[in-house]
Structure 1
Amino acid sequence: MKECTIIKGKPVADRITEEVIKDVEKLKVSGIEPSLAIVRVGENPDDMSYERGAVNRCGKTGINVVNVVLSEDISEQEYIKEIENLNERNDVNAILCLRPLPKHIDENKIKNIIEPSKDVDCFSSINTAKVFEGDKTGFPPCTPSAVVEILKYYDINLSGAKVGVAGRSMVVGKPVSMLLMDENATVKICHSRTQDMEKELSDSDIVIAAIGKAEMIDSKYIKEDAVVIDVGINVNSEGKLCGDIDADSVMKKAGMLTPVPGGVGSVTTSVLAKHVVKACRQQNGL
C-alpha cells in the first residue's frame, strides 16, 4: 500500500518566523519597534491558549506585545473605548481582538471601529473587501493565510489546480477560496446544502476541510493522491482532539495530509507575526 505523506506545520512556521526575525531586526535598526495589542474578554480557555501561542511567537521574533484583558461583563461601550484607545496609540501597530466576543457585544459594530491599518486578522469590513478584491495592502485572516503558506512551502502547484473547499464561513471557507483564486487555482466551495458533497470534492486535486464537524470527511470524499488540508479543530467521541478529516480513512487514499494537531493551527501565530510586521512597515511608509 502506498504511503500518505504527513505535512506538518512546524517547518512552515519556523521558516516564516526566521523571515519575521530578520524583518524586525531591520526595523529596530531604524528605531522602529513593531508591537501587537491582544484584546481578550474573560477567561475563555481557547482564547487564552491562542493568546499564549501568539505571545510566545512574538517573543521569539522580537515583536512587543500589549495584553489587554477585560472582564467578562464589560459593556459594549467600554469595549469600544478600549479599541478606540488602541487605534489612537502610536506605540501599537496591530490589534488582535480575540473572538467570538460575549453575546452582549455586537461584533458587527466592533468590526467597523477597529482601525483597518491595524487589523491584522481581518476583522474589519475593509480588510474583508480587500481580500475579495485581491488588494495586497489588506490583512487576510491568519488561518486561511496559513493554509496557503503550507501549500506553497511544500511546493504544491496551485495554478490551474482543482481545489475543493468544504465550508463557507467568513472565518475560513470564503477567504481561503479568494486567496487560492489569487494563486490561479480553480475553486469549488461546498457546504451543508451541497448536494452530493462526496462527488463534488472527490474530483479535487486539493481538499480544504473547514466544515466544523469532527472526522466527517473520509476517503469517499478524496481522490487518489489528493492533497488534503485539515483546518478543523474538534473533539471526537473518544474525547481526543481531531480535525474535520477522518485521518485513518483518508490516509489510505491521499498523497499528502496535514495532521491535527500540528498542522494548520501551528502556522497561524507565525502568520500573525508576519502581519504585524507588514502593518508596522505600511504605517511607517516602508
Structure 2
Amino acid sequence: MNYASFRLGAQVIYGVVQGESLHRLDTLPGLPPTLKALLPRLAEGFRPDLSAAPVLPLAGLTYLPPVPDPGKVLCVATNFHEAGKEAPAYPLVFTRFAESLTGHDQPLRKPAASERFDYEGEVALIIGKPGHRIPRERAQSHIAGYALFNDGSVRDWQKHSTQFTPGKNFWESGAFGPWMVSRDSVPDLSALVLRTRVNGVVKQQVALSTMIFDPAWLIAYMSSFTPLAPGDVIVTGTPSGFGATRKPPEFLAPGDLVEVEVPGLGLLRNRVVQDGAEPR
C-alpha cells in the first residue's frame, strides 16, 4: 500500500493513495491521527480496512513528506560501487532537518545564496519499529516502508568545511515522497532500479543491488550510535551522475524539473524555483 500525508486547508491528513484518490485514514475509529503514529503497526504487518475510509480526489490536496515531522533524518553520501573506485569501510553520514524537505509536486527552492544547487536521487527507509543496537539479521523488521528522496545539495556551502550540514539544510531544498510504500509491498528492494531525470533527460541510473551498504547494514550501523524511533528516516545514498560530477558541472536553475523514479516505489517530481534573500 502507498501511504501519504497531505495538507487539506489548515489540516494535516493521511491515508492510502490508490490511483487518483486518497482513502483517508486519520478520521477512522481506532487509527491514530498521523501516519507517523501508525508506523509501528505497519512495521508489524497491519493493513487497514479501506472500506469505511472517506475517499478524496488527490486534486486539491497538497503533498507533504510522508512523515512531515521526522525525529531524525540520517543521510549517507555516495553509496554505490563504481568501477575503479575503492569502496569505503564505513559510510559518510550527515543529517538533514525536517524544514529542509518538501513534498511531491511542491517547489524545490534554489537558495539565493548559491548558484551551485544540485540534485541527488535516492531511496529512503522509514523506520516503524524502535530499536537500539539492532542486529543486522533483524533490521528489516524495523522498516515500515520505503520512499523516494531528492537530497538537494548546495555544493559551495557543503564544501565550506568537512561538515556537510550547511549545504544540506537550506529551507525546502530537498524533496521526500510522494508516499511511503509499505515494506510488505516491496518483496526485494535490491531488484529495483533508480533513475533521476532533469528536464526529461536521465542523469542518474543505478541498480539498487549495487549499494555498498545495504539497508540492513545501515540500520544496524545507525542504531549502534543512536536509538531509532518510528518516523526516523535513513536516506541510503546516491549514485554518480549528479551535477557536480559532470564535465562541465550542471547545476539546477529555476524552472528545471527534477524527477526521481523507482518503478514499484513511485515517482517524486519537483520544479525548481528561486528562493528569495529577504528575511522571513
Question: Shorter-chain TM-score: what band?
Answer: under 0.3
Q: Rg larger in 1 or in 2? A: 1
Larger helix proportion, structure 1 or 2?
1
Q: TM-score, normalised by structure 2?
A: 0.23
